[in-house]
Structure formats: structure tokens, C-alpha cells
Amino acid sequence: MHNFNVFTGEPRKFDPTFKGPIYNRGCTDILCCILFILALLAWSQGDPRKVIYPTDSKGQFCGQVGSPLEKKPLLFYFNIMKCASPLVLLEFQCPTTQICVERCPDKFMTLLKALQNEDDREYYKQFCKEGVDMTKVSSGQERKLEARAVAMRIFEDYTQSWHWILLGLVIAMLVSLIFILLLRCLAGVMVWVMIIMVIIVIGYGIFHCYMQYASLKGQAGSDVTIKDLGLQTDFSVYLQIQQTWLAFMIILCIVEVVIILLLIFLRKRLLIAIALIKEASKAIGHVMSSLFYPLLTFALLSLVIAYWAITAVFLSTSSDIFYRAMLDKISNITTECPDAECLFAFYGGETLYHKYLILFQFYNVFLFFWCANFVTALGQVTLAGAFASYYWAFKKPDDIPAYPVFNSLGRALRYHTGSLAFGSLILAIVQVIRVILEYLDQKLKGAQNKCAKFLLSCLKCCFWCLEKCIKFLNRNAYIMVAIYGKNFCTSAKDAFFLLMRNIVRVAVLDKVTDFLLFLGKLLVVGIVGICSFFFFTGKIKIVEDAAPSLNYYWVPILTVVFGAYLIAHGFFSVYAMCVDTLFLCFLEDLERNDGTADRPYFMPERLLSILKKSNEGVKTVD
């Protein structure tokens, strides 16, 4: 191990009394903490009526007491799909006609049916603009009514199946928990099965390529080279020549040899990765409260989203009403469009505040990213502190402090709000830049400047990679903050060089853990998805009568599958954080201690045996 300072070359100095996360620590990155608090100040302008009461296309408040629309408190959107535009998030104006109604539609029909039945036509008049003759409505609008009917049927399916959807999500939670607990016993088996399966699959690919190569031998035209064939739009042509299958076979042989050589030379590091994964399952078993922490993260993220939405609404409503002559699509009126009408367009004003209102909305989006990243960082620091307390307990579980998750959360909020805000700020800046690049990309879709498009694509790729790197660095920096209580920059530097000194171990552990978590998510989603499919389609005879009658059975199935993935991701994110924390603690343990009575290793016995190390006169609890 390189126990020296990378800048000065001097030996690293360790505190001999260190036994886990430091409790006597001071506040870090106070300036960034102050900036974060100032950024959360609420806006003072805005019309609360525009938040309480929905506004129709004429700028009138639906349901406001004392107004002509007092008995019409609900807002009806003609085509709510038009609200799915990124600009709606900034301007909070949906480019479709909206009218105030007394109640929402409660039955389905096509326009053709409404035209044929006078009662139906009278019923639907309340959902049309004043003065509209339904007998003159075009077939294009009939299609819009059909789309709206589909949306209503989907909503009806949710009302019929919501309790079964919740049951499916509970099952997903139980399956995720069982999988994590089984990893303690099956992690090694699953990893080795995965490796063997990869080798077998690649081996079969080599065999298949050889058989195809041999079968084409002697056939007319099969000896043509790829170079002579040139570029063909029909790719199946390349499969009719021997050289293609020979190239495939050579590539697969190289991949197979590389994998086998890596397994031979990295077998020790692979064993360390498996042992750490098993230890992570054991740590979660002793700190079971960590599995419920994602619920707090979810609640805090909900508050962040609510704060962003309310702020955006107040910003967009802190103006006067402006009208504009419009057609079906938002556009300025010309003398060639006499059928256009004057409708409510947007809120605006002439003051300096109104002039730069769009910048305030962009700032609100930036603040959303900052707060969301802060909540994520808080969870990472909290879990890292709890799992570090487990690792640095010499006699497990006797030396594990009481309430490790709660204590770690308290330390993070009391001392390291500034550090969390600092790391979140860096990530938020990059994410906002990515949003701006996406916005510019949408604007340039109709442009013919290929150079600009290429440059923009390169920038998007670079900032995507930068965001991934920052997330990785932040994650490990937060672990060091949780353990040592230093500021963000120092923690990031220490974590980076610690990982660089063990880059091969990092790569092996990262890939093995990613595979196991991917397998776990696939298992949870697969089990819950298959069960929900058989249930909602009535193929399970025992509960066939309990299955609800639905318009589209895929609606609850897709909802359950998506929810199961989110639940599995929440559980496995805790597991991944545990593995990463134990790994950094393990690397620190190797560099800090030497197995003597004064500086014993804190790692479990199985890791000591893999590394052929031992503690003199003492024995760690495995």
C-alpha cells in the first residue's frame, strides 16, 4: 500500500485512536450552507387566487365566489396532451382551450354517436365553448374526442384497480427485501454462475460462427470480401459471405481469451468483491432501519417537487392578464385568418420584474435540481455514516453504536449541510447546462447547420460524461465526509486518490455489484410483472372472481411494473451505498492498520484469509 501523501511524498499520518466515524467534529463549508439557505427564500409576489382557482382560456377564475362562474369550479381541457410541453413548466400556460365546468364528463361516446342522439348532444354541450354548433364539428375533432375517451377509460381502470396495484407494490417490497437477505448466502454462487454463463454463451457464439463459416464453404459468392462488397443497405447480404463469420469468430475468441485471462489474474480481487458483497448483506441485517430510509428520501423529494411547483405557479401568476388573437395552434393573428378568436394567452407585465420573469423561472428549475441533489446527498451521507459505524466496530454487533442511522442523520444535518450543498451545487450546475443543451437541440431540429448540430451533440455527450463522473466523485466524497467530518473538497480529494491507488479493485467491485443489482431488479420486476399479468387477465383460477373488470388490463400491469422497479431501485440503492462504504472503509483499513495489537485490522475474517493477513493476538468477529 502507498501510505504517503501524493503531493509531498511524505508518509501519511494516521490517528492511532481512530475507531470509526468521528463524533467530535466541526461544521464544514459554512459559506455554501448560508448560500443554500438564502436560495430557499420564498417569493413575495403573486396572486393567490390564481393558485386556488383554476383559470380558463379567457383568464376567468373557475368557482370564485361572487363571479358568473361560481357554480363551475372545475377546469376542462380540450386536449390535455398539449400540456406535455417543456415550455409549460416555465410559463405554466397550456396551449389548448380550457373552459370552466360544473362537473367532469361521466360517460364515454364518440362524436358520431353524439350527433346521432339528441340527448347525448345536449349533454355534451356543457363541455363546448359558447355558441358552438356540434353538427358542424369536423372529423378531426371527433378523433380528439376519441383520444379523450381513451384517457377517461384509463382513469376508470385506475379507480377499479388501485387497491390491487398497492398490493402488488407491497409484494415488490417483500421480494426486494428477501433478495437482499439471500445475497448473504448466495452472492458467491450467483457471481460464479454469472461468470460461467458468460463464458459458455461466448463459447457457443464461437461454435456457431465456425459452423456458419464451414457451411458457406464452396458456395457461389461466399468468398467475396467485405471490402469488395462495399456498403450495402441490406445487412443480411453480409451474412452470406465467409469473411463476416470469420471476423465474428475472431472477435469472440479474443473476448473469450481476455475474460479468461482476467479471471486468472484478478481472481483474488474477485474474491474480495464477493466477500464485501456478503458483508454488505450482513451489515444491512444489523442495521435494518437503513432499508426504510428511502421512505424519508421519497418524502423529502416530494416536498422539493411541491416547493418547485408552488414557486413556479406563483411566478407565472405574478403578472397581469394578456389576450391574443389565436387559432387552434398558438400563433399571431393575420388578416388572412378571420375565424380566429381573442383568447387568454399569458400573464405578463412591463416592469423590470416582469421583463426578467423567465430568468426567475430558470432559476427555479436550477433550485429544483440543487434541492433534489441535496436530498440525495443527505441520504448518501446518512447511510454511509451508519454502515461505517458497522465496519469500524471491532466486535460486531456488540460495538455497533445504538441507532446508527439516526445518529448519522443528526451529524449530517448539524455539521455538514454546507458540504452537502456544495457537492449538490456542482452537480446542479452541470444538470442545468444539460437542460439548456437539450432545449437548444430542440430549437435546432429544423435547422440545416450540420456543424452546429455536431458541436451540440459533442457538448451533450461531454456533459453527460461529466455528470456521471461528478456523481461518482460526490458519492465517495460523502462517504469520507461521513467518516472523518472534513470539508467537501478535502474529502473528495482523499476519496479520489484512495480509489486511484486501488483502481483495479474499484473496477472489479463496481462491475460485480452492478450485475448483482441489475439481476435483483430484473428478478423483482419479473416476478411482480408476471404475477400481475396472470391476475389482471384472469388466468389465475383461484382468484379469477376477484380480478377487476377493466377496459385495458395493461394499465395496472404497467403501473405495477414501473412501481416495482422504483421500489427495487430504492432498496438496492441502500445496498449499493453499503457496498461502496464498506469498500472505502476496507481500503482505509488496509492503509491505516497492520494487524499488530496496537493497530489491528477491522475487516472480517474471510477478508483477512483472502489477503493472507491476520491480527496478532486478537480475532475479529466475522
CA-CA distance, 476 to 495, in Å (whole number)? 6
* Residue among 298, 475, 301, 293 nearest 386 (CA): 293
CA-CA distance, 129 to 141, in Å (whole number)? 13
Among 26-35, 245-254, 483-492, the range scoring the smallest mean pLDDT is 26-35
Write the single-letter amino acid at 458. Answer: C
Write the secondary structure of 396-427 as one string of H (helix), E (strand) and C (coil). CCCCCCCCHHHHHHHHHHHHCHHHHHHHHHHH
The per-residue DSSP string of 348-360 comes to E-SSHHHHTHHHH
457 vs 119, more confident? 457
* Residue among 166, 170, 164, 174 nearest 540 (CA): 164
Question: 259 Cβ partners below 8 Å, 6+ apart?
Answer: 198, 199, 202
pLDDT for position 263: 81
Looking at residue 55, the DSSP 8-state letter turns out to be: B
With residue 509 as reference, give the H or E element that holds it. helix 503-536
Single pTM value for the model:
0.69
Among 198-202, 346-350, 419-423, 487-491, the range scoring the smallest mean pLDDT is 346-350
- Sketch the domain layout of the chain as residue ranges: 1-42+144-617, 51-129
pLDDT digits (tens, 9 = 90+) for 525-542: 888 888 888 888 777 777
What is the separation of C-alpha 421 from the centre of its chain, rounded to a whole number of angstroms? 20
Q: How far, in Å, are 22, 488, 587 from residue 385 at the CA level?
A: 10, 15, 16
pLDDT digits (tens, 9 = 90+) for 76-129: 776 665 665 555 554 555 666 777 777 777 665 555 555 556 666 666 666 666
Question: 24 Cβ partners below 8 Å, 6+ apart?
Answer: none
407 vs 149, more confident? 407
Question: 50 Cβ partners below 8 Å, 6+ apart?
Answer: 61, 313, 317, 347
pLDDT for position 42: 42
pLDDT for position 190: 75
* Residue among 535, 527, 531, 529 nearest 161 (CA): 535
Mean per-residue pLDDT of the chain:
76
Q: Which whole number is the average pLDDT over 165-178?
A: 85
Report the first-to-last Cα separation within the chain, whole angstroms: 24
Whether the Cβ atoms of residue 412 and residue 382 lie closer than 8 Å to each other: yes
The per-residue DSSP string of 530-564 comes to HHHHHHHTT--GGGTTTSPP-S-THHHHHHHHHHH
pLDDT digits (tens, 9 = 90+) for 304-320: 888 887 777 666 655 55
Write the single-letter amino acid at 36. Answer: F
290 vs 60, more confident? 290
